[in-house]
Structure formats: C-alpha cells, structure tokens
Chains A and B, each alone.
Chain A
Amino acid sequence: MIEAQALSKRYGAKTAVDAVSFTVQPGKVTGFLGPNGAGKSTTMRMIVGLDNPSGGGVTVNGRAYAQHTAPLREVGALLDAKAVHTKRSAYNHLRAMAATHGIPNSRVKDVIELTGLGPVAKKRVGGFSLGMGQRLGIAAALLGDPHTVILDEPVNGLDPEGVQWVRHLAKGLASEGRTVFLSSHLMSEMALTADHLIVIGRGRIIADAPIQSIIDGQGKVRVRVRADRPQDLLGGLAGEGVTSQVLEPELVEITGVEPRRIAEIALRERVLVYELTPLQVSLEDAYMQLTQNEVEYHSHTPTAADPAAAPSEGR
C-alpha cells in the first residue's frame, strides 16, 4: 500500500507536484495516468526517496521508503530503464543490486528467466535496445520479490509481445495480493491493464476512481448536429439536462441525450436538421476530457518558453 499525503515537489518557481494525496491499494493494478510532464515520474521518484518532497510525505507499507530495513524486498521500482552502468552486463548489474539485500544468485537467474533476458544477460547493457533495457529494469524491480511494485511507463519501447507480457505480469502480481502502481500517458494501455485509475495533470490529481466509473462518468453520449436554427433546437432541449457547444453558426455538439430525442425535439420545434451524427466516446475521449484543462500547455505549437512544461520527464 502506498499512501501520499499532501505530497509536493517544487523546482524553483515551477511546481511539479502540487499537494497530491492518494492511496494505492494492494490486490489491484492502479494506473497512474497523465500527460507528459504532469508529475508522474516525480511522484514515483519521491515514493522511493530519490527526490525529497518539498512538502507533505509518502509512505509505503506504513513507512517512508528509506526507513525500511529491506527496501528492495518491500518495493520494486522501475523508474528509468537507463539506471544501469552501460559497461556492465545485465547479470552483473542484477548481482550487484541483489548483493545489497543478500538476495541469492539463484533469484537473479530466476528474474532473468522471468523477463526473457537469458540470451543477453552476459552482454553489456550499453548495447541493449530500449525494450531490453525495460525488461532489465523490470527484472531489477522484481529481484526482492516485493509486495509493492512501481513501474514508470513500463511498456515504453516494448514490442507487442512485450506489452502483453507486462499486462499479464501486472495483473498476475495484483492477483497475488500485491500493490501494483504503474504509470502511462496512454489511456488505451491503462484501459487494458488497470483496475483503478489515478489521473494527474499539471501536478494535481484530477480523478481517483475505479476505471469503469471514470469511463462512465465522462463518457456521455455526444451527438454532432447541423441545423438551420440551432438556437431554437437548444431552446427546445433546455429541460433535458444537456450540455452543448456551438462550433459553427449551424453546427453544435450536444452531450447527454440520445440522437432520436434530438430529432423529436427538432421536429417539434420545426428546425431543419441536415446532419445528426452520434460520436463514439472512447476511453481516449474520456481521458482527453478529464485532462483538457491540464494539457493546454502542450497543445499549441512549441515555442521557446515551452520546455518548462515538461521539466521532470527527461531527468
């Protein structure tokens, strides 16, 4: 279990993580979703004590990470696939990590097998592909057979087979009662893996709920309507609890009511309707709606001032 209390991180004037509080429960996969630069990696680094919070705190299994006597046996973390000396072999890297906790070499060989690194284990990490580096990071995270597993963008650079493997791994670990916390900026990936979602944007928690309720809550029916007098149509819909957005003089998007009902109202109001298109609401849309206010920073053409939008991802 991971518990964050008013956790904050500021870099100078920029607030990367803004007083977030959340709990990651054992026994399920919790997705940590947000656009690039939203504060996911910074939050995860604070969980394992690499970054010191500017305010608030975070505990894992009831204690700050550094207070555990056997941290690798409590928490396994993949934060950065490149956290490896490039001239050392994967096997020696894992052996050095394992030695700090007296983890036997047999376990090192186990995680190498588990992550499919066998054929390249004795090769220098510098020559690894992104996907292989990712597998090595996951192997390191699993070394201590930890009760809590934190994976930052674990499917980055993996081939489809690898992506599927990570999904099964995450679900398998959760079904054993472990706490699994994984981040992504892809809603589609989360939809397939996570049971619970914590959505973060610009350092703040936007949503923290079971994945189904996030989809249901945001995914109302949306219909695109072209009509000659849209205002009259919207006036007729006033009692139906809809939200609408006028995109062009004769084009509106209406959310919250079935297309058939719109047609009925249009007929009653004698409005000419010449397009009535139900828009598919995907998970991606639900996510975009959730975060649209939080990503405006990224949506315009990059300018000199823009790199400030993503201060923490590339570290």
Chain B
Amino acid sequence: MATSTTPAPALQRPRPDRNPGPGVNFGRVLKSEWIKVTTVPSTVILIACTVVLMVGISALLAWQTTFLFEAQSDPEMAAQMQAQGAPDPNDIVRDIPGSGLTFGQLLMASLAVVLIASEWATGMIRSTMVAVPRRTPALLAKQLIMAVISFVIGAGSALIAYFIAQPILAGSDLDFGLGDDGVLLHIVNTGSVLALVSIFAMSIGTLIRNTAGGVVTSIGILLVLPIVVAIFGSGTEWVVDAARFLPSSGGEQMVATTIADGAFNQWQGALVLGGWSLLLLVVSLIVTKKRDV
C-alpha cells in the first residue's frame, strides 16, 4: 500500500468515526417521493381527469335519475318499467356520489402503475435505490403518497359530486342528506376503494416493472375479470360464490348503500379488497428487496 505517495495528508479527513451528517429516515424519503410525484406532468394531468370524470358522471347520473323519476310518476308507465326491471329512483339516488368510481379506478390504477414502472423504464429506479439502498422505505413512501392522493381524490370527488347532485335531484324531490343512511360511509369509502386499488396496482407495477404490462394486468384484474366471471360463471354456483372474493367485488361492497341478503357488508368488502392489496404489497416488497435493480 503506497500510502506514502498520498499528497497533502493535512487535507485527509478524519475517519471512520466522523459523523457523516443526517441520514435516511422515512420522513425524508416521504418528502423525496412527494417531490418525485409532483414534478412529473402525468400525475397532475391524470388527477385532474379523474376529478372531472368522477364528478361529471355523478352529475349526469343525477340528471338521468330525474327523468326516470318523472317517467315513473305515471303509474301505468311505472308498472311497465318495473316489469322490465328498472330500479326505483329512491333506491339508487344514494349511490350517485360515488358512481364515477369505475372510471376513477381506471385512472388511479394507471397512475399508480405509471409512477413506479416509469422509474424502471427511465432508469430512475437506480438513482432511487442508491439513495435508499434498503429499498423498502422508498417503495412504502411511494405507496403511501399515492394511496393518500387516491383517497383524497376519491372522497373529495364524491363529496363534490354529492353537492352538485343535490340541486339537480331537488327538482324531483329526490335530494338526500349527508346524514342519511350510509351516505357518508359511501362517500368516504369511494376514497378508500381508490386508495386500496392504487396500492393493488402499484404493487403489480412494482412486480412487472413495465408500464404497459402493469396497466393491462391491473385493469384486467380489477375491471375486466369481474365481467368475464359474470358472463361465463353466472350459472355455476361455486363461481358465483368465489367471485365475492374478487378484489373488484370487495370494492363494490365497500361503497354499497344497501347490502343485499347474504352479501358482504362494507367492512367485509374492505377486508377482501384490502387483503388482496396487502398481499400484493408484501410480495412486491419482498421481491424488490431480493432482485437486482
């Protein structure tokens, strides 16, 4: 070791017991992830689209419900419509605030996948993992930020939609109060479903590491799979039974304002969707910890 050739030992820093300065902690990683989320344009665009879509769909549905109400005020027409299986407007109005949830899921699941998979696509993940070599805090911070954003967007949109729908519904005397049965839970859970769905989707994005693949897989499981099951499994009892445990079914029950006989209630629905999200989250954390970046 030719340390004698080292110039200027006076400049040599004391080591190794020198204090390097502040280190990594979860609060700092959260701040870093917040900067990352807010400094790419896709986040802002997708969030704006989600709010507009969710509120817009609720307003449209409220408007449409008033027509249904008018049609049914004619007793003859009402009997005919009931025979065709049309719902009673009074039964469905309370679902209006969260009626844009399907579109909200589509967009927020996409955003969740994009946020993590784009790090792999651009190579940013290597910078992230060099700064936070334990890896898990970086992923958890991103998940937490996205879940909170999703909750606020979901619950906020539903609340805005509630207030926009009331004057429209009031004309037909269909308006309802925030304190009415299940309404507040419906609004809050619209946010909760989006938060759990974003964890679900971001975990898939973390495992697949590819934006297109992650979006297709998440949307496939959340929105297409229930349709396929409904079409092909409706006659088979065990399929119907098992379908209650699909993540999408859990989300549906979470925002239900009336619970059918034998169906899961809101909390059981939350266990189903939350269970899937937690399972995928844990798997994605373990796999990321072990894989090369």
Give A contacts to B, CB under 8 Å. 23, 25-28, 45, 48-52, 61-62, 65-66, 68-74, 77, 79-80, 82-89, 92-93, 95-97, 99-103, 140, 144, 147, 175-178, 195-196, 210
Contact B42 A65 (CB under 8 A): no
Closest to A125 in B: B122
Question: Are A72 and B22 in contact (CB-based, < 8 A)?
Answer: no
Which residues in A have their C-beta under 8 angstroms from that of B129?
49-50
Asked if B40 contacts A84 (CB within 8 A), the reply is no
Instruction: Select from chain A the residue with minimum beta-carbon distance to B133.
Output: A66
Cα-based distance from A97 to B28 in the complex (angstroms): 10
Map CB proximity to A onto B101-134 as digits: 1 under 8 Å, 0 otherwise.
0000000000000000011001111110111111
B41 pairs with A147, CB closer than 8 A: no
Q: Given the complex of chains A and B, what is the CA–CA distance between A26 and B9 in angstroms?
A: 11
Q: Which of A45, A87, A99 contacts B32 (CB 8 A)?
A: A99
B161 to chain A, nearest CB (A): 31
Q: Can you list 12 A-B contacts with CB-CB less than 8 angstroms, sorted by A residue number?
A: A26-B15, A49-B130, A61-B16, A70-B23, A83-B127, A83-B130, A84-B123, A96-B33, A99-B32, A147-B13, A147-B20, A176-B13
A82 to B127, CA, bound (A): 9
- From A65, A140, A175, B127 is in contact (CB under 8 Å) with A140
Interface residues of B in 1-43 (CB under 8 A from A): 1-3, 5-9, 11-13, 15-16, 20-24, 28-29, 31-33, 35-36, 39-42
CA distance A25 to B292 in the complex (A): 27
Interchain nearest-CB distance for A135 vs B (Å): 15
A127 to chain B, nearest CB (A): 13
| CA of A27 to CA of B4, assembled, Å | 10
The reply to whether B1 and A25 contact each other, CB–CB distance below 8 Å, is yes
A71 to B127, CA, bound (A): 12
Contact call A51/B292, Cβ cutoff below 8 A = yes
Docked-complex contact A87 and B40, CB < 8 angstroms: yes
B105 to chain A, nearest CB (A): 24
Bound Cα distance from A74 to B293, whole angstroms? 20
Please judge, given known A-B contacts A49-B133, A88-B40, whether A96 and B16 are in contact too, CB under 8 Å: no
- Least CB distance, A55 to chain B, in whole angstroms: 15
Query: What is the CA–CA distance of A82 and B126 in the complex, to the nearest angstrom?
Result: 9
* Alpha-carbon distance A200/B24, docked complex (angstroms): 34
Interface size class of B (residues with CB under 8 A): 35 or more
Complex interface: chain A residues within 8 A of B126 (CB) = 50, 79-80, 83
Cα distance, A210 to B6, chains bound together (Å): 12
Q: Are B133 and A195 in contact (CB under 8 A)?
A: no
Selected from B7, B21, B124, the residue in CB contact (under 8 A) with A84 is B124
Interchain CB contact under 8 A, A88 and B131: no
A50-B126, A85-B124, A140-B127 given; A66·B11 CB < 8 A: no
User: Chain B residues with Cβ under 8 A from A49's Cβ?
Assistant: 129-130, 133
The smallest beta-carbon distance between A21 and chain B, in angstroms, is 14
| Residues from chain B with Cβ under 8 Å of A147 in the complex | 13, 15, 20
Contacts of B21 in A (CB 8 A): 70, 73, 101-102, 144
Closest to A87 in B: B40
Report the separation of the CA atoms of residues A138 and B7 in the bound assembly, to the nearest whole angstrom.
24
If A49-B129, A50-B130 touch, does A96 touch B39 (CB 8 Å cutoff)?
yes
A100-B32 in contact given A50-B293, A73-B21, A177-B11 (Cβ < 8 Å): yes
Q: How far is the CB of A130 from chain B (nearest CB, A)?
A: 14
**Given A82-B123, A195-B5: A95 and B35 within 8 A (CB)?**
yes
Given A25-B3, A72-B131, A100-B131: A177 and B22 within 8 A (CB)? no
Q: Which residues of B contact A96 (CB under 8 A)?
A: 32-33, 35-36, 39
Rounded to whole Å, the gap between the CB of B288 and the closest CB of chain A is: 12
Closest Cβ of chain A to B41, distance in Å, is 6
Give min CB distance, A45 to chain B, whole Å.
8
Check B16–A77 contact: CB distance below 8 A: no
Find A74's partner among B20, B28, B42, B132 (CB 8 Å cutoff). B20
CB atoms of A92 and B42 under 8 A apart: no
Counting from the closest, the 6 A-B pairs by CB-CB distance are A70-B23, A69-B23, A27-B6, A177-B12, A66-B133, A99-B32
Q: Which residues of A contact B22 (CB under 8 A)?
A: 70, 101-103
With A72-B130, A85-B118, A140-B127: A26-B24 Cβ-Cβ less than 8 Å: no
Q: How far is the CA of A70 from the CA of B23 in the complex (A)?
A: 4
Complex formed: what's the CA distance from A195 to B29 in Å?
Answer: 37
Residues of A within 8 A of B13 (CB): 147, 176-178
